[in-house]
Amino acid sequence: MVEQIGVFNYWIVIALMMTGLYVVISCRNMVKKIIGLNLFQGSVFILYISMGKVEGGTAPILASDFTSYSNPLPHVLILTAIVVGVATTALGLALIVRIHDRYGTVEEDAIQNLDREV
């Protein structure tokens, strides 16, 4: 089954990525933009992990019964990226709370209108 997948898995990831990008570009609400950014991040993680998989391999925990392992390097990279991603999401959400305190709304065009009035 794995042989027939070819490069199809990358196309699924690209579809997810583009959905996330569309959410970030077109949604007016800031919280939804952050959720779209999370979507984008998740799809990038799936891309890297799918590149690291070796057909017939197993998880990269060395044991004497197995000879073929999946590549541990993407795992390390993505482990770091996940935790950093949640840290930046938290920072973005804190900024949204402050923006709401200042402007009273989290809709992007309402904030631009308020800025133009001042």
Partner 1 sequence: MVSAIAILRMPGLFTAAMISGIYSLVAAVVFLVMDAVDVAFTEAAVGAGVATILMLATLAHTGVRRSQPVPFSWIGLLVVLVAGAALVFATFDMPAFGEPLAPIHMHVAPRYLLESMAEIGVPNAVTSVLASYRGYDTMGEVTVIFTAGVGVLALLGRGRRAPTEDVKDS
Partner 2 sequence: MGHHYVLRVVSALLIPVILLFALYVQFHGDFGPGGGFQAGVIFAAALVLNALVFGLENTKRVVSPSAVRIGAALGLLLYAGVGVATMLLGGDFLAYSVLAATAIGGQHLGILLVELGVGITVTSVMVSLFYNFAS
* Chain positions contacting partner 2, by CB under 8 A: 59, 61, 79, 82-83, 87, 90, 93-94, 97
Helix (H) or strand (E) holding 63: none
Q: Which does 29 bind (CB under 5 to 8 A by kind): partner 1, partner 2, none?
A: partner 1
Residues paired with 58 in a beta bridge? 69
Contact 29/99 with Cβ under 8 angstroms? no
Paired tokens of 12: 């699924």
| Residue 16 touches which of partner 2, partner 1, none (Cβ within 5-8 Å per kind) | partner 1
Evaluate whether 35 touches 47 at the Cβ level (below 8 Å): no
Binders of partner 1 among residues 75 to 94 (CB under 8 A) are 75-76, 78-80, 82-91, 93-94
Residue (25 or 61) nearer to partner 2, CB: 61
Q: Any contact of residue 113 with partner 1 (CB under 8 A)?
A: no
**Residue 56 binding: pick among partner 2, partner 1, none (C-beta 5-8 Å cut-off by kind):** partner 1
Which residues, 19 to 78, sit near partner 1 by CB under 8 A? 19-23, 25-29, 31-32, 34-36, 38-39, 42, 45-46, 49-63, 68-76, 78
Name the nearest CA neighbour of 43 among 70, 22, 12, 7. Answer: 12
CA dihedral 79, 81, 82, 86 (to 10 degrees): 150
